[in-house]
Amino acid sequence: MSITPVYLSIKTLDFPCYAGLPLFIALDSAHSGHRLSGDGICKMVVRHSESAGIKKQMSPHRIRHSAITAALDATDGDVRKVQKLSRHRNLNTLMIYDDNRGRDQQDVTELLDGMF
């Protein structure tokens, strides 16, 4: 289980005084306690991806996309459950991820079909 949903539920339900405060804050001396910028989060993702040996160019959106696709796989394509996780209001947006997942399945099916 990811810590983020737990943190968010504690932050908003158990401690409403923290609602509206930044989820991700800077820890450096010049900006301590201030909200991280989108660029700052992106730089962290790139830095940690590189240190983990990931060769593919990474971004927060790519991680989100991978997580949504993995959730669709784990729920056997239950788009309603994954819609809650992804927070996509429009189900058509989420279906793009499911369509991509279907293409991957087709590629693997063709690969396996060629082996036999």
Judge whether 18 and 12 are in contact, CB under 8 Å. Answer: yes
Q: Token pair 């990811």 is at which residue?
A: 2
The percent of residues in the chain predicted with pLDDT above 70, rounded, is 69
So what's the pLDDT on residue 101? 66
Give residue-wise pLDDT tens across range 17-60: 666 777 778 887 787 778 888 888 899 889 998 999 988 888 88
In the structure, what pLDDT confidence band is assigned to residue 1 with cuts at 50, 70 and 90?
very low
Q: Token pair 């943190």 is at which residue?
A: 7
Report how far residue 39's alpha carbon sits from residue 46's, in angstroms, rounded to the nearest whole number. Answer: 11
Task: Kindly give, in sequence order, each residue whose CB lies less than 8 Å from that of residue 79, ignoring residues fewer than 6 positions away.
Answer: 72, 91, 94, 95, 98
Written as six digits, the tokens of 15 are 């401690």
Indicate the SS3 state at residue 35: strand
